[in-house]
């Protein structure tokens, strides 16, 4: 049985920490799911780590749904959250409904994630009213990087901290089942977590959030161009993959691979007959 938003809420009530990871393809989702992660985010970060874009902004909804489908097929237990890309929910409530419905109907996701607080509250409320679970996202919101002036921690000054607390409460009131806090000071994240009845999921937001989310490529050491401050590399697979590929190249060139152990055989008499006839 797949985990539900009610079970995620109950984890907060029981004071159980909530681990969340991104996944963008079938194989990764299958492994992450089998490891027991209860929440998987098909993040628009796939723009950088899967498609080679410079930011999340060029990611299209068709690309997101394509990857969401693959993740849903791979993960049988985790709750799958689809990340709604840039300008697919900002223009109108109607656009938000149409595009969120695509994530649920076409992609197979069980929830969607929207960036922003008060500015998207109406969209969040309407989606929830129509039966689409919503995860909020405040703090550093990558889709707003041009307006925010880059990826700097948010909430260090009083007015900004007040605004984030207000936004978190508004998202809760609008019906969001959880909210991501990205790159917000740990003391502020702790306060927001205490004030909300819904779970907070931190990324660069300190240890006191109800849960944590990381980009799988950062966590596994696959994406080495840049390692964010908030990331911890639990493995360094990029180096191991390069070593494996180098060994493969060497063995192919030296005719040490494949051997007969890796090959199929047949009756030698058939080969003699075929050779004679040709």
The answer to whether 126 and 97 are in contact (CB under 8 A) is yes
Question: If we measure between CA atoms, which residue out of 127, 25, 119, 120 comes closest to residue 75?
Answer: 25
- Tens of pLDDT, residue by residue over 109-126, are 999 999 999 999 999 999
The answer to whether 41 and 22 are in contact (CB under 8 A) is yes
> Beta strand 200-203 with 18-22: parallel, antiparallel or unpaired?
unpaired
To the query of whether residue 182 is one of the catalytic residues in this protein, the response is yes
Give me the mean pLDDT over the 57-77 stretch: 97
Distance (Å, whole) CA 225 – CA 237: 14
Domain boundaries, the chain: 5-235, 240-277
The answer to whether 95 and 55 are in contact (CB under 8 A) is no
Distance (Å, whole) CA 43 – CA 117: 18
CATH T-level topology, domain 5-235: TIM Barrel (3.20.20)
- Tens of pLDDT, residue by residue over 147-189, are 555 567 889 999 999 999 999 999 999 999 999 999 999 999 9
**The one catalytic residue among 63, 172, 182, 190:** 182
Q: For the ranges 48-62, 78-92, 111-125, 215-229, which has the lowest average pLDDT? A: 215-229
Give me the mean pLDDT over the 129-134 stretch: 98
230-235: long-range pairs with CB below 8 Å, 24+: 230/183, 230/203, 230/204, 230/205
With bands split at pLDDT 50, 70 and 90, how would you rate the model's confidence at 278?
Answer: confident
The answer to whether 237 and 220 are in contact (CB under 8 A) is yes
Q: For the ranges 49-58, 75-84, 225-234, which has the lowest average pLDDT? A: 225-234
With bands split at pLDDT 50, 70 and 90, how would you rate the model's confidence at 84?
Answer: very high
On the question of pLDDT at 255 being above 60, the answer is: yes
On the question of pLDDT at 143 being above 90, the answer is: no
Residue 63, token pair as written in the block: 């690309």
């Amino acid at each position: 049985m797949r985990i539900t938003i009610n079970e995620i809420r109950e984890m907060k009530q029981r004071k159980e920490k909530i681990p969340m990871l991104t996944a963008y393809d079938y194989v990764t989702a299958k492994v992450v799911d089998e490891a027991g992660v209860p929440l998987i985010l098909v993040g628009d970060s796939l723009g950088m780590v899967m498609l080679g874009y410079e930011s999340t902004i060029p990611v299209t909804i068709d690309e997101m749904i394509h990857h969401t489908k693959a993740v849903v097929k791979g993960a049988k237990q985790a709750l799958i959250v689809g990340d709604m890309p840039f300008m697919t929910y900002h223009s109108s409530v109607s656009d938000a409904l149409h595009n969120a419905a695509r994530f649920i109907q076409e992609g197979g996701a069980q929830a969607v994630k929207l960036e922003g607080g008060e500015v998207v509250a109406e969209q969040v409320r309407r989606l929830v009213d129509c039966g689409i679970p919503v995860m909020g996202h405040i703090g550093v919101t990558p889709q707003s990087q041009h307006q925010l002036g880059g990826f700097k921690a948010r909430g260090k000054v009083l007015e900004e901290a007040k605004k984030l607390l207000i936004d978190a409460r508004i998202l809760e009131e609008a019906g969001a089942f959880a909210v991501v806090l990205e790159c917000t000071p740990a003391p502020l994240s702790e306060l927001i977590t205490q004030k909300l009845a819904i779970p907070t999921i931190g990324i660069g937001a300190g240890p006191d959030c109800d849960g944590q989310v990381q980009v799988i490529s950062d966590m596994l050491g696959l994406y080495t161009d840049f390692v964010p401050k908030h990331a911890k590399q639990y493995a360094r697979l990029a180096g191991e993959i390069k070593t494996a590929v180098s060994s493969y190249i060497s063995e192919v060139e030296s005719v040490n691979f494949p051997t007969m152990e890796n090959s199929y055989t047949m009756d030698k008499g058939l080969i003699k007959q075929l050779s004679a006839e040709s």
